[in-house]
Structure 1
């Protein structure tokens, strides 16, 4: 078996990617074919004895798309100083959507405004365009208003008819046929208008052809905008790597891309570490939160491994590079995000799924009905009337609105509750989740260190906290900031600043306060300074066993006490997990934190399973294992390290206060950063799916009843022949029913 990657061009939506997968999977010897719509790539596994790359490319091209073998090793693309092509395309779609909406509204006002029972203000048109005195001019005005809309929606006709001719009809095909038939019929009827025969002016359906295009264009625009946001997640990840690195031996600043494994880099305080490596000299605290999710800085000394993209907090580090290019941790995370997006099966809209049957069936019925009535001796006008009535009443307006309207209302309802839904497909599948995987730091916990216990060795807790805050106020370390914050919350006066201080990387600090030498740091600092900590040693061990960070304080060689700092659990986490259990879901805590910290937090909030000490790239692997076992997984996280898992899961859910990378990679964003919104999102999905099913039932039920009537069934039984005008009215009524049903969803309480 051979695996290859192809660049696919010409895809616009999930239906396009599904079409490419469909035609390639039909080839003999093809074992697997997955299309990544975002990256515009296809990964295919096939037996090279049965099919060749040329045959694969030819098959894709026959389906209406472009294909070429992806070149893995390419020179870096030159930096573009001009306008972003994707941004320009999005702006073009927005402009055309606005133009379509303006002309469609004007067309509706002109063609139907005076037909409404409640009436509208008199049309501000010259008598030259009066429907009653100058019907031909009135028709020409509608034609002039419809043409700009058809031009703005030209891609529907190009892509729709192209897909139809290649045997892969989709939603664009439905829109193109319905809109084209309404427009062509209206043009024919317009040329039949005379001063003696005014009736034909009522048989114009320019507004139907225009409105369908405008409404579906709105959905396409939203889909394109969401796709661009998804791509920006990968771009933002790439920006974490610094453009330049400082060589330690020469002090020369060079492009990071030119650094080789074995080179030693100098990393200054506050700078990002360019590449993965090992510390050869120096001590410092490194903030790896954006990559590992761990909120507390990690102490680094000689021999410690560091991750490219993490931030050096204090102290100077000399780092020997061990991994470059695609082998770095950050590159692997990027690759996992891309792979996960590609492996996530595209969920085609329900309308697209039935389009392959619905479109040819409608056309066949229209042609068959026309032929039968022609054989029966009816004139051309009668035959054309029947043919057009079938196509007009089958116009996919209601079918096209069924899913988007429910999704639009559902996403609006979610936004009211601070739940932002990235796409309609996700809103459709979220209800199927049976396992919720939670990141710890920033998701279950607050994501920033806070003082949990103050244990004085002899004096009062307030006295210990006052001295501790005074000496820690000179440090920029997050643990020091937590102590200062705790003192401020208790309104304790820290007094004057230390006379002098010395930062001791990897241990703590030494300061002179009111003439006393104060030490603040870990067990190692106390032991080196000869301070007896036996009175609080067991307490420190117990706190460390719960994943907390105990800090000792001493003055003039005497122990003052112990202050423990940890990442506290959010107030609503336990209640949210209990709510998920009531909905019958299994909850898993997945974290890169230590086993002690993870199990302690897991016990506090009541999860079903704890998986600790997981590397960034391994999070996605654990999610994939759960899905391989048949589980439908929602991943909830907030860090860059969660991005691969967010995209690998059936549904990725990001905390709004988390990293931009996680937010862009996720399908759902909880703006209130409250886990209680997770069960609300699941309920919203179930309600929206129910609404979509109801809408589709009415849309298909309407077509099932309406098409035979339009084909002349009632006329054959002695009843009336359905006029295309009434077919258009029935089509509009079905749309009103669908929209009305969708709007009911907005009144539901989550």
Structure 2
């Protein structure tokens, strides 16, 4: 038994990409931890470790030593965002209320000859107001920076703290000089405004994070807070949180079903659109499964609870979406590597700026304001948000479309695919046989042939029999009295009808029974070339008719194949059916490469061989026999109506079971990667362009410089831009 396990931890106190890098490095330095994936957007860490060497308590202790709060368990993103929003709003309002009078006192003399306070009194009041803003409203920034310093690490709070503390204590020194008859520039208002703008940026960031998590919020809201239970024959209203497996519930018209279960009484129409995207209500009968979160339409019904609350379809979808949002895309690794060395580089640039301006113009205020501006404007927050905000918004948007991605790297992987493999039955086809052609050869018409065959097959559970019986019921064709039915599995049946010998089956079976197929064999071969299954009907050694059945190709399959042909190099169809049947479907859809009569392990082998040839492969399937290939492929895509095993082996789940959602997945992955690249470009370009201006490099030539206040506003805007750009994914039409 393996000792390696994986746990998720909620982390509080991370603000930038450098924080992420600090936590990851700190965790990976612990003996026994094999991997750690930290996500800034969801404030979580997924840690893989050997439980014989490391405990969850020691992991939490290590994160605490790094300067952050941690606890075991998946973060409740909604509550987390709510707490962050309340906290950031409170801090910003406090800072704002004290910054306004401070700015009036500091700036008023610049625009008028009237002084609100004398110079000395003004300096003291500014120091008091600025101190409250910096050390109370901005205390979380300073505390975190101090914790990082004690661990010999740094992050964006390090830069903010150094910039604002430099401004504040320089101003205290300047105040001392003023009281001794000197004239110096004060930066109390700069330190205060920087903190206020940073807090404003974090408030907007928290609001934007909340919007990005709206998909999860919408899913969670599908569970009603209360339910009507039948306990000992009495109907009682109970909290949904107290529902247990085995309980009996009553669901009235217009109410949402609180949990998964099985219908015991009545036949309601259920609206499952919020779960599956299917717009039409689904008619249910006794014994049918119903899902929590779906809406009862027309009549009340009684149901039995068949699952625990944390094992419902809805909770599974929420868990999958949350997991995907907690994953890190490969493209983020570049940003993380840069962020891990970014802060030390900025500190070096700030020291260089200080040294240069000290020797070039020691009496100039440019020395102090340039150092402060460099420290403030270079905070790497936008780098840390560039990828996770897009993944959060993108996975949530797809969830609304009934497309569940299980990993955050799916978007990037999809854009790199160059080969797609399809299972046939249940994926490209409906997975249900239908009668598509009936031909009469002698003495009976088409209706007689169906009525006769359906009557003979009435006891059979074979898919062919079921399809013929369904066809007979659909058109209400007359049944016949059949007796002495003998079934030969895989071949056909023999029976008696009106004292005549009745033989129904495939061509091999009829030939074995010494029945001459004649021209019917030619018709049969023609139908089989189209990928259809053919059975013959004979009375007294004479062919009377032929029935062709087909596993109907999904109506959207042709459009999907046509789209994929324009996007990737190869499309392959794999099937356990005969070569004739598989080839017929392949030709219908325009698929050139197909393999027939293959076993499940052969599907996996084919995927492996294509991967060895350098292909990036998506496998799309729905059955148990597809599970090994789905797991082996770079991306496994499961049709939602498929088996649990196939779904568990996949990376993407098409909940609505619509093949056209593959087009949406491909298109949306492109959009998401474009957004991520735009975010990263902005984050890098912003720093590359802004830092030289803040350092005052262009001041001697063009007079370009940045005040610390403008630097703080630009830094906050940079992070806000990244978040808002990612939220554009919510408005993209699919």
With structure 2 as the length reference, what TM-score do the two structures score? 0.59
Q: Which runs of 5+ in 1 are unaligned?
A: 25-34, 39-63, 71-85, 117-131, 166-172, 226-343
Indicate the SS of the match to 2:601: helix
Deviation at 1:178, TM superposition (A): 0.9
Report deviation, 1:177.
Answer: 0.6
Instruction: Rate the CA distance shift 1:746–1:532 in 2: closer, same or farther, 3 A.
Output: same
Is residue 347 of structure 1 aligned with residue 330 of structure 2? yes
Which has the greater radius of gyration?
2
SS of residue paired to 1:568? strand
Task: Check whether the contact 1:591–1:613 (CA below 8 A) recurs between aligned residues.
Answer: yes
What is aligned with 1:456?
A: 440
SS, match of residue 432 in structure 2 = coil
Q: What is the CA–CA distance in structure 1 between the aligned matches of 2:168 and 2:502, rounded to whole Å?
A: 94
Q: Give a deviation string over 1:595-651, Cα, whole Å, max 9, x none.
A: 332222222211131233333233333233323323333333333433443344344
Note the C-alpha offset of 1:441. Answer: 1.8
1:731 Cα deviation after fit: 1.1
Residue 691 of structure 1 pairs with residue 675 of structure 2: yes
The alpha carbon displacement at 1:422 in A equals 4.4
- The alpha-carbon distance between structure 1 residues 482 and 112, as it changes in their structure 2 partners (threshold 3 A), is farther
Give the aligned partner of residue 199 of structure 2. 207
Distance in 2 (alpha carbons) for counterparts of 1:566 and 1:373: 82
- Could you say which residue in structure 1 is the equivalent of 2:429? 445
Give me the whole-angstrom Cα distance separating, in 2, the residues matched to 1:696 and 1:18: 21
| Aligned mates of 1:157, 1:484 — CA distance in 2 | 77
Counterpart of 2:517 in structure 1 is 534
CA contact (8 A) 1:591 1:612 kept: yes
1:631 equivalenced with 2:631 (yes/no): no
Q: What is the count of residue pairs matched by the alignment? A: 547
Residues 103 and 146 of structure 1 are in contact (CA less than 8 Å); yes or no, is this contact kept in structure 2? no
Between the aligned partners of 1:400 and 1:434, the Cα distance in structure 2 is 30
Q: Distance in 1 between matches of 2:635 and 2:22?
A: 19
Q: Show the counterpart of 1:570.
A: 554
Give the structure 1 partner of residue 719 of structure 2: 735
Does 2:560 match 1:582? no
Partner in structure 1 of residue 160 of structure 2: 182
2:368 paired with 1:390? no
| 1:433, distance to aligned residue in structure 2 (A) | 2.6
Partners of 2:594 and 2:432 in 1: CA distance: 21
Cα deviation, residue 89, structure 1: 0.9
Equivalent position to 2:454, from 459, 469, 480: 469
Q: 1:107 to 1:611 in 2, by over 3 A?
A: farther
1:366 pairs with one of 332, 341, 350: 350
Alpha-carbon distance in 2 for matches of 1:636, 1:209? 43
Q: Does the CA contact (< 8 Å) of 2:167 and 2:368 recur in 1?
A: no
Following superposition, the deviation at residue 465 of structure 1 comes to: 1.3
State the 1:207 CA deviation: 1.5
Distance in 2, Cα, partners of 1:746 & 1:585:
30
Matched, 1:621 2:591: no
CA distance in 1 between counterparts of 2:73 and 2:647 reads: 24
The residue matched to 2:375 in structure 1 has which SS?
helix
Partner Cα separation in structure 2 for residue 525 and residue 599 of structure 1: 23
1:512–1:518 CA contact under 8 A, matched in 2:
yes
TM (norm. structure 1) is 0.58
> Helix, strand or coil: the match of 2:547?
strand
Question: 1:448 is paired with a residue of what secondary structure?
Answer: strand
Q: 1: distance between equivalents of 2:49 and 2:362? A: 46
Q: Deviations over 1:131-166 (max 9, x none)?
A: x99996897689777778999xx9x999x999x97x
3-state SS in 2 of match to 1:455: strand
CA contact (8 A) 1:219 1:404 kept: no
Residues 139 and 462 of structure 1: CA distance in aligned 2, closer, same or farther (over 3 Å): farther
Q: Contact 1:573 / 1:676 at 8 angstroms: preserved in 2?
A: yes
Match of 2:385 in 1: 401
| Residues 431 and 17 of structure 1, relative CA distance in 2, 3 Å threshold | farther
- Secondary structure class of the residue paired with 1:437: strand
CA distance in 2, matches of 1:183, 1:660: 52
| RMSD over aligned Cα atoms | 5.6
Report what 1:655 is aligned to. Answer: 639
Is there any run of 5+ residues in structure 2 with no aligned partner, and where? 11-16, 38-46, 54-69, 101-123, 176-185, 218-326
Specify the SS of the correspondent of 1:728.
helix
CA-to-aligned-CA distance 1:297-354 (integer Å, 9 cap, x gap): xxxxxxxxxxxxxxxxxxxxxxxxxxxxxxxxxxxxxxxxxxxxxxx99724142243
| Cα pair distance change 1:137/1:602, threshold 3 Å | same
Give distance in 2, aligned partners of 1:635 and 1:66: 31
Deviation at 1:65, TM superposition (A): 8.3
